Chain A
Amino acid sequence: MAPLLELEQVSLSFGGLRALHALDLHVGEREVVSVIGPNGAGKSTVFNVITGIYSPGGDIRFDGQSIVGHRPHAITRLGIARTFQSLRLFLNMTVKENVKTATYGRTRASPAESMLRLPRARREEVEVEAIAEDVLSFFGQRLLGYRFNQPAYVLSYANRRRLEIARAMATGARMLLLDEPAAGMNPNETHEITELIARLRDERGYTILVIEHDMHVVEGISDRVVALDHGEKLTEGSFHEVANHPEVVEAYLGRNPEELQQ
Chain B
Amino acid sequence: MTPIGVDEWVARSGDRRDQSGWRGRLGYLDARVGWWQRLFLVGLAAFVYGQFVVGGNVNYAQTGFNVLLYAILALGLNIVVGWAGLLDLGYIAFFGAGAYGYALFSSHAFGNLPLASGGVMLPAIASIPIAVAGVAILGVLIGLVALRLSGDYFAIVTLFVGQAFAEAANNVAPGTLGGANGLFGLQGFHVGSAAIGSTLGYYWVAVIVLVVLMGLLHLLDSSRTGRAWRAVRDDSLAASAMTIPVNKVKVMAFAFGAVVAALAGTIFAAQQSSVFSTNFSAQTLILIYACLVLGGAGSIGGAVLGGVVVTVAQQLLSSPIDSAYLFYGILVIVLVTRVRPWRYLAAVLAAIVAFGVAAHAIVGAISHRAIAGSPGSAGWFSTALRHYVIVPRGEPLTYGNILYIAAIVMVIVVVQLKGIRRLIAVVPTVYVGICCWEARLTLDPGITAQIMIGAILIVTMAARPEGLLGTRRVEVV
- The number of chain A residues with a CB under 8 A from chain B is 54
Of the candidates A89, A115, A168, A189, which one forms a contact with B220 in the assembled complex, judged by CB atoms under 8 Å apart? A115
Query: Contacts of A14 on B, CB cut-off 8 Å?
Result: none
Tell me whether B5 and A156 are in contact (CB under 8 A): yes
**With contact pairs A104-B224, A186-B4 given, residues A77 and B243 touching in the complex (Cβ less than 8 Å):** yes
B239 to chain A, nearest CB (A): 7
**B423-477 residues at the A interface, CB under 8 angstroms:** 471, 473-476
Closest partner residue, chain B, to A109 (CB atom): B224
B126 within 8 A of A: no
Query: Nearest CB to that of B245 among chain A residues?
Result: A73
Give Cα A106 to B217, complex, Å. Answer: 22
B234 engages A90 (CB within 8 Å): yes
Q: Is the CB of A167 within 8 A of B242?
A: yes
CB contact list, A108-155 vs B, under 8 A? 109, 111, 114-117, 121, 124-125, 128, 141-142, 146-147, 150-151, 153-155
Interface string of A5-22 (1 = CB under 8 A from B): 000000000000000000
Would you give the 0/1 interface string for A90-102, flagging 1 where the beta carbon is closer than 8 Å to chain B?
1111000100111
In chain B, positions 1-23 with a C-beta closer than 8 Å to chain A are 1, 3-7, 10-13
Contact A91 B234 (CB under 8 A): yes
Cβ-defined contact, A104 with B228, below 8 A: yes
Q: How far is the CA of A107 from the CA of B242 in the complex (A)?
A: 13
Is B235 an interface position by the 8 A CB rule?
A: yes
Bound-complex Cα distance A222 to B26 (A): 54
Is B244 in the interface zone, CB < 8 Å from A?
A: yes
Query: A64 near B: Cβ within 8 Å?
Result: no
Asked if B173 is at the interface of the complex by the 8 Å CB criterion, the answer is no
Return chain A residues, CB-CB under 8 Å to B33: none
B227 at interface, CB cutoff 8 A: yes
Which of A51, A115, A188 is close to B216, meaning CB atoms less than 8 Å apart?
Answer: A115
Inter-chain contact A154/B5, CB cutoff 8 Å: no
Assembly CA distance A94 to B431 (angstroms): 48
Contact yes or no, B238 A89, CB < 8 A: yes
Given contacts A101-B244, A104-B227, contact A189 B219 (CB under 8 A): no
| Chain B hits for A93, CB < 8 A | 227, 230-231, 234
Q: Which residues of B contact A84 (CB under 8 A)?
A: 238, 241
A150 to B11, CA, bound (A): 8
Is B241 within 8 A of A114, CB to CB?
no
A51 and chain B: residue at smallest CB distance: B241
B106 → chain A closest CB, angstroms: 26
- If A93-B230, A109-B223 touch, whether A102 touches B471 (CB-CB below 8 Å) is no
Range class of the B interface residue count? 35 or more
Any chain A CB within 8 A of the CB of B254? no
A88-B237, A90-B235, A104-B244 are contacts. A117–B474 as well, Cβ < 8 Å?
Answer: no
Does B256 count as interface, using CB distance less than 8 angstroms?
A: yes
Whether a CB of chain A sits under 8 angstroms from the CB of B225 is yes
When the two chains form the complex, which single residue of A74, A111, A155, A168 contacts B225, counting CB atoms closer than 8 Å? A111
Tell me if A205 counts as interface (CB < 8 A to partner B).
Answer: no
**Contacting pair B243 A102 (CB below 8 A):** yes
**B-side contacts of A34, CB under 8 Å:** none
Q: Tell me if A76 and B242 are in contact (CB < 8 A).
A: yes
Q: Which of A82, A103, A117 contacts B241 (CB under 8 A)?
A: A82
User: Is A207 part of the contact surface with B, judged by Cβ < 8 Å?
Assistant: no
Closest-CB distance, A199 to chain B (whole angstroms): 16
- On whether A101 and B7 interact (CB within 8 A), knowing A93-B234, A153-B474, the answer reads no
Render A155-176 as a binary contact track against B, CB cut-off 8 A, 1 for contact: 1101100000001100100000
CB distance from B238 to the nearest CB of A (A): 4
The residue of chain B having its C-beta at the shortest distance from the C-beta of A171 within the complex is: B243
- Complex: A141 Cα to B237 Cα, angstroms: 29
Whether B230 and A106, one on each chain, are in contact in the complex, defined by CB atoms closer than 8 angstroms, is no
Residue of B nearest to A154 (CB): B10
- CB-CB nearest in chain B for A172: B243
Contact B234 A111 (CB under 8 A): no
A71: CB under 8 A from chain B? yes
A234 at the interface (CB under 8 A from B): no
Which residues from chain A contact B244 at a C-beta distance below 8 Å?
73, 101, 104-105
From known contacts A100-B227, A153-B474, A156-B7, infer whether A81 and B242 are also in contact, taking CB-CB under 8 Å.
yes
Which 7 residue pairs are nearest across A and B when measured between Cβ atoms?
A105-B243, A114-B223, A88-B238, A102-B242, A90-B234, A72-B240, A115-B216
**Which positions in B face A, CB cutoff 8 Å?**
1, 3-7, 10-13, 216-217, 219-220, 223-228, 230-231, 234-235, 237-246, 252, 256, 471, 473-476
* Additional A-B contacts beyond A104-B228, A153-B474, A158-B5 (7; CB < 8 A): A81-B241, A84-B241, A89-B238, A111-B225, A111-B252, A114-B219, A146-B12
Q: What are 30 inter-chain pairs, A to B, with CB distance below 8 A?
A: A73-B240, A73-B241, A73-B245, A74-B245, A76-B243, A77-B243, A81-B242, A84-B241, A88-B241, A89-B235, A89-B238, A91-B475, A92-B230, A97-B227, A103-B224, A105-B243, A109-B223, A114-B223, A115-B216, A115-B219, A115-B220, A117-B219, A121-B223, A141-B3, A141-B6, A142-B6, A146-B12, A150-B11, A156-B7, A189-B4
Q: Residues of A with Cβ closer than 8 Å to B?
A: 51, 53, 71-74, 76-77, 81-82, 84, 88-93, 97, 100-107, 109, 111, 114-117, 121, 124-125, 128, 141-142, 146-147, 150-151, 153-156, 158-159, 167-168, 171, 186, 188-189
